[in-house]
Chain A
């Protein structure tokens, strides 16, 4: 256990360079975006010089890039994550919007994991039969359809035409309002998980130790559970772990289509407005979540396969 703790601490140290790298890179990219952010925001037919001067000063927009970046970092270390041009603090935005995105991502994750692994296992056990072919064809279709097409079609069919789910918005609350966007969000990964599970399980089921177990007369269910799944799930867990974080970052399109007020929506509008501070803050938070989840996945390997050591 001590080894695991040391391993986790060492991995934790890696967060430091990643944090600086991400903030720097994203800040730089936002800085390099064409167009003066104030032009996006405030310049109308009456450019109000007083208002522009105020914003220039508030957001250090006159400073060169490095000065801006250092001021931003200085703010972070004193607990100030910055604010939007209209004075809403990034911390506040995060607190308000993150739970929404997390709910959406976790719901999608549940669909992805349960359906993906479930159908994958089923297909592997019925290799070459109807359900196997159906799932392979189905997943191929899901992989090939762009997610926004899937989103609009699902919204139109299940929301507008059939009325099974709310068309958009989260006022119906969890789970009703989240089911449709979560399924669409999970669709692509679900297809991958399904194929990965099927393939990996098939390989395992063909290996020698399974044949031995069968020869010893163990019941098929025990073989599948104790030897088959456990050995074939490592690549699937790796994928799922990485994907949980990706689901949160990838919700931009889905949150737009289904009008879910999460992080993705905020990122989209902040990028449009050139609010570097907001984008950097949210992206950095997403990156750190990604790292944490990955660390968790790595630690989970040991549970699935005790042969794996943390060094």
Chain B
């Protein structure tokens, strides 16, 4: 399994336990929240393990590591917060006053709250966002997040004029500052979007606002950011560390700790040794060498919650003769005991999948796969026999050597034992080689695409968009016009319930066709030291950095 997304790994879930615990601390009748509970003291500095972010420039950051740093040093337009149902929803940040459509979803007005400034005293206004977004979309600047404005995402009017390597346009005509109000951004889209989708597209991946000086010299900016968030970089980053300290002039809710050190690790296993040696405070995604012992070593300083926005799936090429019979595909699904693999290899830090969207997403969490995803060796064998056996008698599963080789080896063995077929692994040295192979068309007819997917934001759409026929990452070339239509209809449905219904229907259709099915969901697996408290890691893997407090200060 590997993750098809840019983010190399993801984590997520909700550490509800710690929040509930804090609530129960208050015995008196007064209202209390986390920030006034006894443990939420301010001051102190703690450290977070990250892998080396290639860049920390906001317009170029499309991986979890830099996003963690940016979430501390910037305040963007949106955050993701857990709603009443426990599902995460896009929520306007303290910077955002309102987000409104002036017609039916094509024209939008985003109004900012006044008072926010960068640490170099430049004001955060509508033109800050317009300039940053134009810079991001400009093909000549080579910024990774430019796609946010592309037709497959927001589809802002005028994107084509700036996005190509040879285009000369500087600004998208669909972005403007309101004439009478320098705090209102006007966005015009080519096609209408629902409020949920519009905000989610802007929120994940989120492009943080950049001050003019950053847009002029991004290279210097990459060394030392100038942000508008609760923390700021007081010194340039090194290969070893990115240090941030409290921003004294921050207009929003201040962070609790005085400072945060983002500690860079090249080797994830070292994180675990460092945490045990009391040299590190928080690992938002525990490395594999920690999984077997983390719960006993860390006790209540460990979360292992299902619901991260990432799954692994098996895909079958739609033109494959080997897997032409649907019963053959279902037999393969039913012949592998994933809960056993998750227990033995992953120490239950992964969960068996029943649909593409976990319950941390609005409308997600329903078992849509049903019996097809339930292990039953006998039923699997008789399904396969009923379909006339496996044409060719053998299958091949793709796997990246450094990634989930153990998992796929186990799955392969179960296919051999339970179905009496031959199974072999096709091993690749890395992500790039695997992708090359998939796009080359050299995959044999009996090839099982073992892939992974990470969503950018908590919507069902983000979990299943890979199966839209137009999606670049749709390597199995799955195509169902009905699925495309339902997803598109969901994207414009103004009523959230209808929207989720459309997407769930699309999900059901994908599982009905069964050319792809999820077998494993990621959990949020984080661990921290006894120096810090109030740790919450959301399903996208982001940490609630400003709300973490240092309890034991030296």
Contact = CB atoms under 8 A, between A and B. Distances in A.
Contact of A53 (B52, B139, B144, B147): B139
28 contacts: A37-B432, A39-B431, A43-B435, A44-B5, A44-B473, A45-B4, A45-B5, A48-B146, A51-B146, A86-B60, A87-B219, A88-B222, A96-B238, A97-B239, A152-B269, A159-B277, A163-B277, A166-B279, A168-B273, A168-B274, A169-B263, A169-B279, A171-B241, A255-B266, A261-B239, A261-B240, A266-B239, A272-B430
Given A45-B472, A169-B279, A265-B52, 18 more contacts: A35-B431, A37-B432, A40-B430, A45-B453, A47-B147, A50-B146, A50-B163, A50-B165, A53-B139, A54-B165, A87-B55, A159-B279, A160-B276, A166-B277, A257-B267, A259-B263, A259-B267, A259-B274
A150 interface: no
A34 interface: yes
B44 interface: no
B465 interface: yes
Given A44-B4, A46-B153, A159-B277, A34 B433 contact: yes
B326 interface: no
A265 B428 CA distance: 22
B270 interface: yes
Interface string B229-267: 000000000111100000000000000000000011111
A85 B163 contact: no
A258 B270 contact: yes
A277 to B, nearest CB: 15
Interface string B434-457: 111000000000000000011010
Nearest to B142: A54
A233 to B, nearest CB: 37
Interface string A95-137: 0110010000000000000000000000000000000000000
Contacts of A238: none
A35 B265 contact: no
B140 interface: yes
B519 interface: no
Interface of B: 4-7, 52, 54-55, 60, 62, 137, 139-144, 146-147, 150, 152-153, 163-165, 218-219, 222, 238-241, 263-267, 269-270, 273-274, 276-277, 279, 428-436, 453-454, 456, 465-466, 471-473
A56 to B, nearest CB: 8
Contacts of A166: 277, 279
Contacts of A43: 6, 435, 472-473
A171 B54 CA distance: 21
A294 interface: no
Contacts of B269: 152, 257
A15 interface: no
A100 B152 CA distance: 45
A301 interface: no
- In the A-B complex, the 10 residue pairs with the smallest Cβ-Cβ separation, listed nearest first, are A35-B432, A44-B6, A54-B142, A167-B277, A261-B239, A35-B433, A50-B139, A48-B147, A256-B267, A40-B432
Interface in A140-163: 152, 155-156, 159-160, 163
B465 A45 contact: yes
B490 to A, nearest CB: 17
Nearest to A97: B239
Most-contacted residue by chain B among A45, A259, A266 (CB, 10 A): A45
Given A51-B144, A86-B54, A86-B55, A256 B62 contact: no
Contacts of B218: 87
Contact of A58 (B142, B222, B240): B142
